Amino acid sequence: MYETHFGFRELPFGLTPDPSYFFACSSYREALDTLLVAAFNGEGFIKIIGEVGHGKTMLCRTFLAALQDGGDPQAGVARLSMAFGRERRFVTAYLPNPYLDPRGLLLALAEEFGVAVDRGVDLHMLIKAVTAGLMKIAQEGKHALVCLDEVQAMPQVTLEAVRLLTNLETEKRKLLQVVLFGQPELDQKLQQQSARQMLQRITFQYTLAGLREDEIAAYLDHRLRVAGCEGGSLFTDAAVRLLHRYSGGTPRLVNILAHKALMLAYGEGSMEIGPRQVKAAVADTPAARRARGLFAWLGQ
């Protein structure tokens, strides 16, 4: 597409949550620190809330990468090991599909944690197998942690099954730590009477915010550099201000608008992205068009 024109190795504003593009804005940095400290403390439940497009899945994958051997020491585990005076090793699982019944959840956990089970086994034996697998992880001196994505869509009965799994513990600690990632509707779900026990067990939580206006330019330049751009910023100051106005700081919308603006600049043979290209990208993006009335009213 336009990679050669701008000197990129790859497209800089893709929507796939690639941890190599993780940008440590103030909100993401605080959220990642919260996750790492809570995980290291052995908390049973941790909750991260974020609006659509605010980068929950990107944060989740960056967090999981930081927990693995060879993860970025600046991001977490090595630094926390020194701070707490002890090493902690994690075995992690990631379940992106919230539409699971309790049996499906247990089968998915068994697969993620390497527990061999007969898929036709009854629920009681399935629970026993998963419990045995978690015990084995603990006996090896490791900590099992699972991240559940889009939990606002998870059936209440499955959410309760997750809570019951966290009842499993040794004399010293929980056998399983759970991180819940969800949209604001998850908070409504947890206010239901049937979820009150889980709500009480959430000891660490964080709500993601979008990119601040003063972070947009650095965010754009970061992604351009990762993609291979060796020159200065391609976006003018006016273009950056418009990107923030029309995206509201939502990273996914920033990516969509920036990608379309780059396409337009490429089609025109230009090496600079200004307000005209951003306005045209907004006109072609339904989620951003809601701000057009305000834009016209301001006469900008």
Condensed to tens digits (0 to 9), the pLDDT of residues 2-34 reads: 888 988 999 999 988 888 899 989 999 999 999
Q: Would residue 200 count as lying in a domain?
A: yes
Question: Where residue 280 sits, what CATH number does that domain have?
Answer: 1.10.8
139, 173, 207 - which closes a domain? 207
User: Could you give the CA distance from residue 246 to residue 38 in angstroms, rounded to a whole number?
Assistant: 35
Specify whether the CB–CB gap between 257 and 281 falls below 8 A. Answer: yes
CATH number at residue 114: 3.40.50.300
Regarding whether 193 and 140 lie in a shared domain, the answer is yes
Query: Which residue segment(s) compose the domain that 111 sits in?
Result: 26-207
- Residue 80 has a pLDDT of 56
Over residues 89-99, mean pLDDT: 93
* Cα dihedral across residues 84, 33, 190, 153: positive or negative: negative
Is the Cβ–Cβ distance between 160 and 178 less than 8 Å? no
Looking at residue 87, its pLDDT comes to: 67
Residues 88 and 231 in one domain: no
Q: Is there a domain that residue 16 lies in?
A: no
The β-bridge partners of 169 are: 174
Query: Does residue 95 form part of some domain?
Result: yes
Which of 180, 207, 234 is the C-terminal boundary of a domain?
207
pLDDT score, position 68: 78
CA separation for the pair 272, 275 (Å, rounded) = 10
pLDDT of 297? 38
Q: Is residue 103 part of a domain?
A: yes
Note whether 123 and 235 are same-domain residues.
no
Instruction: Determine, yes or no, domain membership for 231.
Output: yes
Residues 217 and 203 in one domain: no
Same domain, 89 and 177: yes
Confidence of residue 85 (pLDDT cuts 50, 70, 90): very low
3-state helix, strand, coil in the chain (%, to 5): 55, 10, 35
How many domains, the chain? 2
- Confidence category of residue 77, pLDDT binned at 50, 70, 90: low
Confidence of residue 300 (pLDDT cuts 50, 70, 90): very low
217-228 tens-digit pLDDT: 999 999 999 999
Which one is predicted more confidently, 128 or 44?
Answer: 128
Q: What is the mean pLDDT of the segment spanning 73-95?
A: 66
Beta bridge partners, 91, equal 144
Q: What is the rounded CA–CA span in Å between residue 81 and residue 89? A: 10
Q: Say if residue 177 is in the same domain as residue 255.
A: no
Tell me how far CA of residue 294 lies from CA of 223, 226, 297, in angstroms.
29, 34, 5
Mean pLDDT of the chain: 87
Asked whether the whole model's pTM tops 0.85, one would answer yes
CA-to-CA separations, 24 to 58, 116, 119, 239, 289, in angstroms, rounded = 11, 38, 41, 22, 28
Report the alpha-carbon distance of residue 271 to residue 4 in Å, rounded: 12
Same domain, 125 and 234: no
Is residue 97 located within the same domain as residue 203? yes
Residue where a domain terminates, one of 155, 180, 207: 207
